[in-house]
Amino acid sequence: MLKRRSLALVPATLAAPALAQAPWPQGGPIRFVVPFTPGGTTDIIARIVTAEMSRRIGQTILVENRPGAGALLGTGQVARAAPDGYTLVLSVISAMIVGKVLQGDRVAWDPDRDFAHVAMVMSTPYLILVRPDLPVRSLAELVEAAKREPNRFSYGTSGIGSMPHLVMVRFLQAAGIQMTHVPYRGSAQIVTDIAGGVLPMMIDSLTAASANIRSGALRPLAHSWPERVPAFPDIPTFAELGFPSLVVDGWSGIAAPARTPRPILERLAEAARDSLQSPELLRRYAESATAPGRLFLDDAQAFVRAELAAWTPIIRASGASVD
């Protein structure tokens, strides 16, 4: 009787551990970190994917925007999170590959060792996009104008060390021209400044820029996929215009902290796979000319490992710097 009475007097003491030990994912909402500002197309697609996944696993997934440092800030927060399945990140090539290589030892985490890659969820090319009234109608005309008037042009990207920044650095080197880089925290403000005449051009993903291309707010000159995009057949590739080294795929995925239990990763991957086949998500992907990802778990892990190995010498040879 005494033991039973003692237990009855301390229900609150037992309640917290009981909740913490609830089987995944019943322990509480899942935090999904998007390392970009809210409102961009990548952010919107991430929210669509997580909404679909939430329905499939039976738990709320809360999107948390943590922009900064070329997507390194939010990515690093997840690398240090508990490996319990309740913290995920939108893994992007800008942070996982470009940022890590450029920052070196200043980034304490490793894209392969410190993350369990659950799924690749989307793929998109990068483009050079100019203000509609800029008297430049083609990539060749841009190169000619930049050679005629060195440092006349400036361009905006989503940050120093981002993949758009690296794409432009490689293009400028290949073309033998110079321009001034203006880094921003996100794409939306760049578009606003281009419309206001502050900047003549930007580099962004097709996923993010598709609506502005269709509306005429931005004019594309070239993109970084090896072949033309069916939804935008009039946009040439860098490769066909004489820049064969500028073949770049802007991928995004879902990753968890390393050592997250395998059964949780498998459940997340299954939910991601099913979500990527949903009619609503495929419709939104088609609208933004985004290709769905098709790699999961070990294949996704191997893909990121291979991307790091392939891009490291290219990035170092480019001379791109965050300093």
Q: Locate the domains of the chain by residue range.
A: 29-124+249-318, 126-241
10-residue averages of pLDDT along the chain (323 residues): 37 42 89 89 87 96 90 94 97 92 92 97 96 96 96 90 87 95 88 95 94 96 96 97 94 97 97 94 88 96 95 84 70
Tokens 């799924």 belong to: 119
Q: Are domains 29-124+249-318 and 126-241 of this chain identical in fold?
A: yes
Of 252, 253, 295, 262, give the one whose Cα is nearest residue 85. Answer: 262
Fold (CATH) for 126-241:
D-Maltodextrin-Binding Protein; domain 2 (3.40.190)
Q: How many helices (H) and strands (E) does the chain have?
A: 13, 11
Whether the CB-CB separation of 271 and 85 falls below 8 Å is answered with: no
d(CA 172, CA 187) in angstroms, rounded, equals: 21
pLDDT at 187: 82
Question: What is the strand order of the sheet 30-34 is part of?
Answer: 61-65, 30-34, 87-92, 250-257, 115-124, 291-292
Predicted confidence at residue 11, as pLDDT, reads 41
Q: Where are the alpha helices (DSSP H) in the chain?
A: 2-8, 11-20, 41-57, 72-79, 93, 100-103, 139-148, 163-175, 187-195, 206-215, 262-275, 279-287, 298-318
State the fold for domain 29-124+249-318.
Answer: D-Maltodextrin-Binding Protein; domain 2 (3.40.190)
Instruction: Say what the pLDDT of residue 323 is.
Output: 67
Tokens of 77: 């927060």
Cis amide linkage into residue 313, ω under 30° from 0: no
Radius of gyration of the chain (CA): 22
Do residues 30 and 86 lie in contact, with contact meaning Cβ atoms separated by under 8 Å?
yes
Q: Using DSSP bridges, classify how beta strands 180-183 and 201-205 pair: parallel, antiparallel or unpaired.
A: unpaired
Burial 159-174 (b: 16+ CB within 10 A, else e): bbbbbbbbbbbbbbee
Measured CA to CA, the distance from residue 8 to residue 2 in angstroms comes to 10
Whats the size of the chain, residue-wise? 323
Task: Return phi, psi of residue 23, to 5°.
Answer: -65, 140
d(CA 30, CA 97): 25
- In the sheet where 180-183 sits, what is the strand order? 180-183, 154-157, 201-205, 126-130, 219-223
At residue 71, the pLDDT reads 86
Structure tokens, 102: 């450029």
> Are 139 and 241 spatial neighbours (Cβ–Cβ below 8 Å)?
yes
According to the model, what pLDDT value does residue 66 have?
A: 93
The C-alpha atoms of residue 101 and residue 97 are separated, in whole angstroms, by 6
